[in-house]
Amino acid sequence: MTISETRDKVLSGELSLREIVEHYITQIESKNVDINAYVNTDFDAALSRAEEVQKKIDNGTAGKLAGVAMGIKDVISERGKKLTCASKILENFESVYDATVIERLRAEDAILIGRLNMDEFAMGSANEFSNFGPVKNPHDHDKVPGGSSGGSAAAVAADMAMTTLGSDTGGSIRQPASYCGVVGLKPTYGRVSRYGLVAFASSFDCIGPLAHSVEDAARVLDVIAGFDERDNTSSQKEKDDYIEAAQSPNKKIKIGVPEAFFGEGLDEEIKKGIESILNELEADGAELVPVELPHVKYGIATYYILATAEASSNLARYDGIRYGHRADKDEMLDELKKEEIALKEQFELAEGEDKIAVQEELTKLDSALVRLYKKSRTEGFGPEVKRRIMLGTYVLSAGYYDAYYGKAQKVRRLIQNDYKEAFKKVDVIVSPTAPTTAFDIGSKLDDPVQMYLNDVYTISANLAGICGISVPAGTHSNGLPYGIQFVADSFEETKVLNAGRLVEMKVS
C-alpha cells in the first residue's frame, strides 16, 4: 500500500500501527538473511513507538507520516544507534545525536525500524564494498542491487520497509532504484539538510527517499525538505507543494532529449523501452525537444577527481586515535621494534654505500604514532575507500592540483552552464538511469572503471547540483527492472515528480 492508503486505513481503524510494524518485522525476519539489506534492527523500539503513535492517532494529533515504517541508510545519524557507514573503522561507533532528517521524520510520527546496508562510506555502485557483506538484488539474488544505497533500494523492493532514506553523491539513490525497480529521488543540493549525514564528498552529498511510488517519495520529501540553520549549505528557499505535483501531473510538459544519453553503451532494449514511453507521453501532450549537453561527456572524469579529493579530505579524521578502529598498539610496537632491530643489525654488517642506505632507512622509520595511524587506517578501510583516498590525495598534491583538481572545477562549471542553458527551453531532461540492468555480483570487482561507468547518466546531476528522479520504466527480457531518469533545474523538484508520475501512470 502507498503511504496515503496506509494512513487512511490506520485513521479509520481498519489497521493498527502495531499490525503494520509486525508485518515489516515478519518480512525482515524471513527475507533479510538472504538479501542482507538491514545491518541493525530494533524491533522492540519500533513496536513501542507504534504504541505511542497509535495513541496520537486515536486522539487526532498524529503527524503526516503516522503509519509509515522506514529504514535508514547507515550513513545518517540516529541518537543511540550504531553509525558504522558499513566500515570496520567505525564498527563500534554509536551516534550521540539525531540528523535533522531523523528529527523531522520522528516529528511527523514515522517509525524507524532499522539501519540499512551500503557501500562503505557510500563509495561504490554495487553495494559490494560493505563490512557487512554484499546486498542481494531482491529480483535475483545473484545480481547486485546497485549502490551505494543498495540496502535502501532492496528493502523497499523486498517489502521490508514502506520507504527508506538513502544518500546520493553521484547517483547512489537513483541507480539502485533502477536496478531494484523502485522510485528514487535525489533533491537539489541544499534542499534537504546534510546535518547528521556522514560526509563522503561534501559538495555533492544529498539525502533523499526511495519508495514504491512517486507520491510516496513526494510525501517523504515534503517532511525532510527545508532550511536548517545547522547546515551552512542549506537553502532558505521555500519548499513547493510536492504532493500536489505527484497527485495531479500536468501532461503538457517540455522534455529535453539529449542525444549524448542515448548513444553507445546503452542496452538496446532499455533504449527502445524508454523511447516507447516518450512517444506515449508525446501523444498525451508532452513536447520532446532535442537538447545539447556538450560537456557531460567529461562528467565521469570530473566527478572522480572532485569527489575523491573531497573524500580524501573528509576521511582524514578517521585516524584510530579520536574514534574508530584502532590497531593493536602492542602488536604494532612489537613490529616497529623488530624492524628497528633488523635495520640496526644490517647497519653493523654493511659497508660503504650500503651502510649509508641502511642509515637512511633507519632515519625514515616511522614514529610509533605515525605507525599507529597507518596500521589503524590500513585495517579499518576497505579496498574501494583506500583507492579513492589515494586518488584524491594524488589530485590534491603539489604539482597536480592545478592540472587535475583546478581544471575539474572549471569543467564542473561548464556542465552546470550546459544544464542552465538547456532548462531555458525545457522543463525536464530525460535519460536512462543506468546503461544496463543489474549485473552479477563480483563481475566488476577487478575492473573499477567499468563499475564507475554505471553512473554515467546520474553523475552530471550531482556535478550541477540539480534534482533528479528514477522511476521504473519496465522489465527487461532478462526479467530485471530498469529505470527512466528525469532531471530538472535547481529547486524544481515538482517538475521531476510531475514527469515521474506521468511515466508511472503509463507503466503501472
Residue with cell 539502485: 176
DSSP secondary structure letters along 225-240:
BS--TT-TT---SPP-
Number of H helices, E strands in the chain: 18, 11
DSSP single-letter state for residue 137: B
Contact partners, residue 285, CB within 8 Å, separation at least 6: 251, 252
Residue 398 CB burial class (10 angstroms; 0-12, 13-18, ≥19): exposed
Q: Are 35 and 114 in contact (CB under 8 A)?
A: no
Q: Work out whether strand 254-258 and strand 206-211 pair parallel, antiparallel, or are unpaired.
A: unpaired
Radius of gyration (Cα) for the chain, nearest Å?
24
Active site residues: 73, 148, 172
> 477 exposed, middle or buried (CB, 10 Å; 0-12, 13-18, 19+)?
exposed
Give the list of residues 6+ apart from residue 60 with CB closer than 8 angstroms, or none: none
CA distance linking residue 324 with residue 308, whole number of Å = 21
Please report, to the nearest 10 degrees, the dihedral formed by the alpha carbons of residues 498, 503, 505, 508 taken in order: -140
Contact call for residues 123 and 167 (beta carbons, < 8 A): no
Own/partner contacts of 282-288, CB < 8 Å, gap of 24 or more, are: 284/251, 284/502, 285/251, 285/252, 286/251, 286/252, 286/253, 286/254, 286/255, 286/502, 287/252, 287/253, 287/254, 287/255, 288/255, 288/257
Q: Which residue has the cell 584510530?
A: 320
How far apart CA 134 and CA 221 sit, in angstroms, is: 28
Q: Which residues contact 393 (CB under 8 A, 6 or more apart)?
A: 312
Please tell me what DSSP assigns to residue 402.
I
- Mark out the alpha helices in 36-189 (DSSP H runs): 43-58, 100-107, 150-157, 174-180
CB proximity list for 447: less than 8 A, separation 6 or greater: none
